[in-house]
Chains A and B, each alone.
Chain A
């Protein structure tokens, strides 16, 4: 859940999130090759819709995040993609607040970047099965990291970290599982039909 509504977080946390996200978006856009903009747009649209894929999880209900997949395919361009997707979710669906957009973007995009980096370090082309396993790790790991970060920002705003983190991480265990399977399937498919999408990210070839 990276849809924290307005009025939950304290001002310093909001500011910190906004600064991190602004820096991330600027960095992502500067490294973005104009030829790859359509790819970012497609992933942004997927992220936007992913929050509507809804899974019952015990007492609560959760939805896919897909930030691991975004990080693998987009690299640093995950930041602008995430920002646009979250902005439209906030405006059109009322998921999450507008003021907390920076924090929500940070909670989603930083794990995405981490997942993408781990994936690209470990996979440089070749066996799609290996890519699938790595995709599962990256997808599940990104969700876990997002949940921990959400718990963290809640704690930084004066809530007890242990409680907040436990609730958030527990409700996200099923998402982690589903997300790992989903990311693995998507990555295996890409590794087979379009491996260059996985190895390059959306950055200019250095």
Chain B
């Protein structure tokens, strides 16, 4: 009876779920959109996150919403490192590369702090940039769910990992038993 209950508990537990904080972020135009979640898919609600410049300076902070989501306005074209802290030792971070952000943003991380608009030399030169930005933002919006899914998939615990791990454990202890048996027989 007890054995049955134990077996049922172990079998019913979804093997794909576990407790690890994950952070996904991607740029949609000049906005960095992302979510924080626990591996297994549960949203990480109400966490505080920080946005860091490449030199480690804190640019901004954000809070995750009910669904673990957040949006941050990027002010300059540089690598944005995002990190969230669960407070109980769970942290996660990810980087949105400068290349993902639109070219119309100022490149210097320092000028990004003050909201200086990019110096537009002429309307004619500015037009194609704006058009490219719109296309890039649209494409980014379309593929974001896909990227997010891929990101989650990468971290999924799969059966072969599980079996490989158990096999490795038995192998390691087998080697230990073999070595200690040899030592004894001598």
Residues of A within 8 A of B (CB): 1, 3-5, 7-8, 29, 34, 37-38, 40-41, 44-45, 48-49, 51-54, 56, 59-63, 84-85, 88-89, 92-95, 150, 154, 163-164, 167-168, 171, 182, 185-186, 188-189
For residue B181, CB closer than 8 A to chain A, the reply is yes
For residue B169, CB closer than 8 A to chain A, the reply is yes
Query: A183 CB to closest chain B CB, in angstroms?
Result: 11
Contact A38 B173 (CB under 8 A): yes
Contact A8 B89 (CB under 8 A): yes
Contact A94 B169 (CB under 8 A): no
- Chain B: interface residue total (CB-CB under 8 A): 43
Query: Among B15, B45, B169, B177, which residue has its beta carbon within 8 angstroms of that of A34?
Result: B177
Report the Cα distance A94→B89, complex, angstroms.
15
For residue B186, CB closer than 8 A to chain A, the reply is no
Contact B90 A5 (CB under 8 A): yes
The winner among B3, B9, B86, B88 for most chain A CB atoms within 10 A is: B88
Contact A164 B87 (CB under 8 A): yes
Known: A52-B162, A61-B42. A94 touches B155 (CB 8 A): yes
For residue B126, CB closer than 8 A to chain A, the reply is no
6 closest A-B pairs (Cβ-Cβ)? Answer: A41-B173, A54-B17, A167-B88, A37-B177, A53-B13, A34-B180
Residue of B nearest to A189 (CB): B2
Interface residues of B in 4-25 (CB under 8 A from A): 5-6, 9-10, 13-15, 17-20
Residue of B nearest to A163 (CB): B87
Query: B1 CB to closest chain A CB, in angstroms?
Result: 10
Report the Cα distance A93→B16, complex, angstroms.
10
Query: A142 CB to closest chain B CB, in angstroms?
Result: 18
Report the Cα distance A89→B165, complex, angstroms.
8
B113 partner residues in chain A, CB cutoff 8 A: none
Contact A92 B40 (CB under 8 A): no
A38 partner residues in chain B, CB cutoff 8 A: 173, 177
Query: A132 CB to closest chain B CB, in angstroms?
Result: 10
| 17 sample A-B contacts, Cβ–Cβ < 8 Å, listed by A number | A1-B89, A34-B181, A37-B173, A37-B180, A41-B169, A51-B19, A52-B162, A54-B18, A84-B169, A84-B172, A93-B157, A95-B19, A150-B88, A163-B87, A164-B87, A164-B88, A188-B2
16 more CB-based (< 8 A) A-B contacts, given A48-B165, A185-B2, A186-B6: A1-B90, A5-B90, A37-B173, A45-B166, A48-B166, A49-B162, A51-B19, A52-B157, A52-B162, A53-B9, A54-B19, A61-B40, A62-B19, A84-B172, A150-B88, A164-B87
